[in-house]
Structure 1
């Protein structure tokens, strides 16, 4: 149960945001409804997301694994649900997405670079970050500086998303259910 009402004032901006969300995702994103109680915060956050979606120095698959590893580390069920759905839309194998929360025990499912990216995402997400010089240097050498900056910014952005959604009390909105293969009869 959300800790904030998911019925914000019916302003033009909130109605437009709900329309866009339904059109893009098939339903209105509950975090957007919560943000809708403060139009300035909602507008600023929406612009940030809009601009971040255009970043392209980092491979989209690596970016997605970093986002999911971050959400998993924070234990944001809403973010994991949405991330699973996004991964499905990107073509990420569901078997791989399911292993992100336990990537350390499922190393064989990931490439060496994917493992490094998820390790970095977790290290950055710790309440006191535990990123080492060696880990950062390895990622810079493999990804290049522009992609490393983007990776760092995406993990920070997912920390914002996951921590806000967790504080709001957001839970799964059912996105991942649409990705599952129905059981055979």
Structure 2
């Protein structure tokens, strides 16, 4: 049960956001409804998401695995649910996305760089970040500095998303169930 009403004032911004959300995702996203109680916060958040969507120094698959690993570490069920749908939209294999929450036990599913990215996302997500010099150097060496900065920013953004969604009390919105899982499993 959400801790905040998911029926914010029906402002022009909220009506536009609901229309866009239904068009793009098939339903109105609960986080948007929660943020809708404060138009300035909602507007700033949407702008941040729009700009972050244009970052392209980091491989989209690696970026997504990092976001999912951070969401899993925070245990944000809404984020994992939506992340599954988003990963499928990116063309990532379902068996890989499903294993992100237990990536340490499913190392054989991931490449070496994917494992490093998820390790970094988890280390960065700790309440006191646990990123080591060695891990950062390894990722910079493999990804380059621009992609490393983008990875760091994406994990930080997912920490904001996941922590806010958990604080709002948001849970799964049914995106994973709406995905068709192809026979590549």
TM-score, normalised relative to structure 2: 0.97
CA distance in 1, matches of 2:90, 2:149: 22
Structure 2: stretches of 5+ with no match in the other structure: none
**Pairwise CA distance, 1:181:** 4.2
Q: Are residues 181 and 113 of structure 1, via their aligned partners in 2, closer, same or farther at CA, if it must alter by over 3 Å?
A: closer
Tell me how many residue pairs correspond in the alignment: 182
Partner of 1:88: 88
| Distance in 1 (alpha carbons) for counterparts of 2:95 and 2:62 | 16
3-state SS in 2 of match to 1:106: helix
* Alignment correspondent of 1:47: 47
> 1:19, 1:33 → 2: CA distance?
12
Distance in 2 between residues matched to 1:18 and 1:128, nearest whole Å: 36
**1:130-169 alignment runs, 5 A limit:** 130-169=130-169
Check the 8 A contact 2:65/2:118 in 1, yes or no. Answer: yes
1:61, distance to aligned residue in structure 2 (A): 0.1
Distance 1:12 1:33 in 2: 13
What is the aligned partner in structure 2 of residue 117 from structure 1? Answer: 117
1:61-111 Cα offsets, whole Å, 9 max, x none, are: 000000000000000000000000000111111111111011001000000
C-alpha distance in 1, partners of 2:74/2:20? 28
- How many angstroms does 1:179 deviate by? 1.2
In structure 2, what is the Cα distance between the partners aligned to 1:181 and 1:3? 32
Q: Does 1:176 align with 2:176?
A: yes
Query: Structure 1 stretches (4+) deviating beyond 4 angstroms?
Result: none
Aligned ranges for residues 64-79 of structure 1 at < 5 Å? 64-79=64-79
CA contact (8 A) 2:94 2:181 kept: no
RMSD: 0.9
Q: CA–CA distance in 2 between the matches of 1:44 and 1:118?
A: 28
- Give the deviation of 1:9 after TM superposition: 0.3
Stretches of structure 1 that go unaligned for 5 or more consecutive residues are: none
Give the Cα–Cα distance (whole angstroms) in 2 for the partners of residues 171 and 58 of structure 1: 28
Distance 1:119 1:133 in 2: 13
1: distance between equivalents of 2:55 and 2:92?
19
